[in-house]
Chain A
Amino acid sequence: MFQKVLIANRGEIAVRVVRALREMGIGSVAVYSEADRRSLHVLQADEAVCIGPAPARDSYLSVPRLLEAARSTGAQAIHPGYGFLSENSDFAAAVRDAGLSFIGPPPEAMNALGNKLLARAAAHKAGVPVVPGLDHPVRGLDEARAAAKEIGFPVLIKASHGGGGKGMRVVRSEDELGSLLELTQGEARASFSNDEVYLERYLERPRHVEIQLLADSHGHAVYLGERDCSAQRRHQKLIEETPAPGLRDEVRRAMGECACRLALAAGYVNAGTAEFMVDAKQDFYFLEVNARLQVEHPVTEMVTGFDLVKLQLLVASGGELPFVQADIQPRGHAIECRITAEDPERDFMPSIGKIHRFRLPSGPGLRNDAGIYPGAEITPYYDSLVAKLISWGRDRNEARRRMLRALDEYVIEGVKTSIPFHRWALQHPAFVAGAIDTGFVGAEYHPRHIAPSPEDEALAVRAAALHALLHPSGASAARVEGPPSGSPWKFAGRPGAAGARR
């Protein structure tokens, strides 16, 4: 096993990895940008190295700086977390070439299953169902026309190097095809430096169900159940749960076995997530493998009892999986809510500022994975995910009610958060019934659903007047957060620079 591991990430996921390392007695090295000197992952790691200025491309995305930090601290392995460089096969290769271990799949397997078209080809070979469509890049408009007719409208144009919900367009009729094809190719060129696109059938409102898989370097692969991530807004997941409500056992087993077959065929090692779309008849279609630890991995940990990060470390150091498929017996139900610094009343606009009051919910059946603390600064440079709240229950309804109770306990002041949205979603009849699909949030959510009651507004007015009386001077002015005018940090990020969070 390793003695020291560097975490090439920040925020809650870096804190998560530090926790696993500490429990295993392994030294931890945090890296941080100049904007993150006071971030929680820096405070919690054994060692911390500054790797450059705030913009991610100069720090968290800088391969030379990360490798230099590993060299100077004597770390033997690098955990990439999610987002940033986690699915960059060039980075995985550079880590390996530097004589270090990459805590993730080999770059070849990452490419084979992470690129959408290559993943389709691998799926065909392994007998895994995919959405009907083209298996090669579109070569011209005539071919696209013929293919679209065969597939049947609506079709989806997809960039084969795309991700994070970018580089996709729905075409509803033949006369839109030409212009949308050009548009998607242009976007793909700009965002992914590659204009390769292909076509597949567009499924209206499928469920998003993914399989957690784990493979070692001794030819073993297992699946640790599934996660339903259908509660999405513009392809960004908001709520995830396991098991997927109402998913039939034989469907779950078939999906799990498909994921393992794919992993073994591609020489995949370490944790990964096979993403599927599932339709109303519970027919499933493989999309791609997210070749990394997933944001929502804690729900799987809650029901299986396994620590996925420890297993990642074990497998990356050459160890054998200590259990077989039959040993994996999930128990109960788990739900995760992503607490993001976004304003659900204003179109989920990012919200920045200083956290001045922060109290986490606790009590039975809860887990908090937070990257913030009172006094922490939320900057505009990185992802808006600041914490994750996970609830466990003996059944789905207990997990759901426990989550609602926990959301009521949650105190976070200084930025707007997604908490009011979660409260709404968890009480929506369709969610309660376990009957949502990926169109749920877009079709059902409106900010007026989280508008406060007149009684609460009247109480807030009373509180303001009382505060005016008790603090007549406005002495607490320093604590009023707002946009940090004249911020010493200049925002110079690049679109999508921080990579996709899925």
Chain B
Amino acid sequence: MKYNVKIGEHEHWVEVLPEGSNWNILVDGEPAVIDAAEIAPGAYSFLTDGRSREVAVDRNGDQFRVRLGGATYDMIVMDEVHARTRRPERAAVSGPAQLKAPMPGLVVALKAAVGDAVEEGQALVVMEAMKMQNELAAPGSGRVEKVHVVIGQSVESGQALVTLAAPAPAGEGS
């Protein structure tokens, strides 16, 4: 079976083939024979070339989260058929970008106002959760179109905080 795996900026084609009691898993044609034992649902013991690793996989539809060696990897996994028929999703992202709350918390400071030009990575909102204050950065460059929250407001995870409009093309405006 062949899968398309997107991780960050990278995209891989992965083929999973049974080989005796093991699996030969090829990433972009690069083979690796793995003795895999599922020790708990979604938790695997891998032996590759005698090396022992533990890896855990969670799945929600085509979104996968893999944990290995203390690191977490988020990826999108589709089988070949779905991957080939899916529409390119990134093409449509030209509308306004939104900064959303990554967790429930309290808005303690606003660092930009409507009309401000902001750079990607610039702090826009300071949120407090678990007693810690965290600066939330602009997801892209642009102009602040709307600030949806006020200082002192409790927000839920995923709630829109700031909407950014794409920066005006060079030469336009005063």
B-binding residues in A (CB < 8 A): 236, 341-342, 347-352, 357, 380-384, 407, 410-411, 413, 416, 419-420, 423, 450, 452, 456-471, 474, 476-477, 479-487, 490-498, 501
- Tell me if A480 and B59 are in contact (CB < 8 A): yes
Chain B residues with Cβ below 8 Å from A465 are 3, 5, 14-16, 25, 77
Write out the residue numbers on chain B whose beta carbons fall within 8 Å of the beta carbon of A477.
59-61
Q: Could you give 18 example pairs across A and B, Cβ below 8 Å?
A: A342-B132, A347-B134, A357-B40, A380-B105, A413-B67, A452-B73, A459-B48, A461-B66, A463-B55, A464-B3, A465-B25, A466-B16, A466-B34, A467-B64, A468-B79, A480-B63, A485-B156, A490-B104
Closest to A482 in B: B60
Chain B proximity of A403: nearest CB distance (Å) = 14
Q: Does the CB pair B55–A460 fall under 8 Å?
A: yes
Further 10 A-B residue pairs, CB within 8 A, beyond A349-B134, A465-B25, A483-B102: A383-B131, A384-B130, A450-B71, A460-B55, A462-B27, A468-B3, A468-B59, A471-B42, A482-B60, A490-B104
B104: shortest Cβ distance to chain A, in Å? 4
Contact, CB under 8 Å: A382 / B131: yes
Nearest A residue to B26 via CB reads A462
- Interface assignment of B43: CB less than 8 Å from any CB of chain A: yes
Chain B interface residue number, banded: 35 or more
What is the CB-to-nearest-CB distance from B69 to chain A, in angstroms, rounded to a whole number? Answer: 6
Contact A463 B70 (CB under 8 A): no
Contacts of B69 in A (CB 8 A): 452, 456
Q: Are A341 and B130 in contact (CB under 8 A)?
A: yes
- Asked whether A476 and B58 contact (CB < 8 A) given A348-B132, A464-B77, A485-B158, the answer is yes
Interface residues of B in 48-89 (CB under 8 A from A): 48, 53-73, 75, 77, 79
- Flag if B64 contacts A468 (CB, 8 Å): yes
Contact A496 B131, CB 8 Å, known A468-B59, A480-B65, A487-B156: yes
B contact residues around A492 at 8 Å (CB) = 106, 154
- A349 contacts across to B, CB distance below 8 A: 102-103, 134
Residues of A within 8 A of B114 (CB): none
Docked pose: A382 CA to B154 CA in angstroms: 15
Q: Give Cα A482 to B74, complex, Å.
A: 12
* Contact string against A for B residues 10-24, beta-carbon threshold 8 Å, 1 for contact and 0 otherwise: 001011100000010
In the complex, what residues of B have CB within 8 A of residue A494's CB?
106
CB-CB under 8 A for A461 and B102, given A357-B43, A487-B156: no
Q: In the complex, A236→B132 CA distance in Å? A: 10
A203 to chain B, nearest CB (A): 25
- Does A423 contact B105, Cβ atoms closer than 8 Å? no
**Min CB distance, B26 to chain A, in Å?**
9
Q: Is B106 a contact of A493 with CB atoms below 8 Å?
A: yes
Lowest 6 A-B CB distances belong to which pairs?
Answer: A483-B157, A480-B60, A467-B57, A350-B130, A465-B14, A462-B25
Tell me if B36 is interfacial: C-beta within 8 Å of chain A. yes
Complex alpha-carbon distance, A456 and B56, angstroms: 13
Inter-chain contact B68/A411, CB cutoff 8 Å: no
In Å, the complex CA distance between A459 and B105 comes to: 35
Tell which of B54, B65, B132 has the most Cβ of chain A within 10 Å.
B132
Complex: A467 Cα to B65 Cα, angstroms: 11
- Chain A CB within 8 A of B145 CB: no
Chain B hits for A490, CB < 8 A: 104, 154
Chain A residue numbers with a CB within 8 Å of B135 are 347
Tell whether B32 is near chain A: CB-to-CB under 8 Å: yes
User: Which of A471, A474, A491, A496 is in CB contact (< 8 Å) with B104?
Assistant: A491
Determine the distance from Cα of A457 to Cα of B72 in the docked complex, in whole angstroms. Answer: 10
User: A50 to chain B: closest CB distance in Å?
Assistant: 22
Give the distance in Å from the alpha carbon of A471 to the alpha carbon of B3 in the complex: 13
| Cα separation A341 to B129 with both chains bound (whole Å) | 12
Which positions 89-112 of chain B face chain A at CB distance < 8 Å? 102-106, 108
Q: For the complex formed, measure the closest distance between the CB of B88 and the CB atoms of chain A, giving whole angstroms.
A: 21
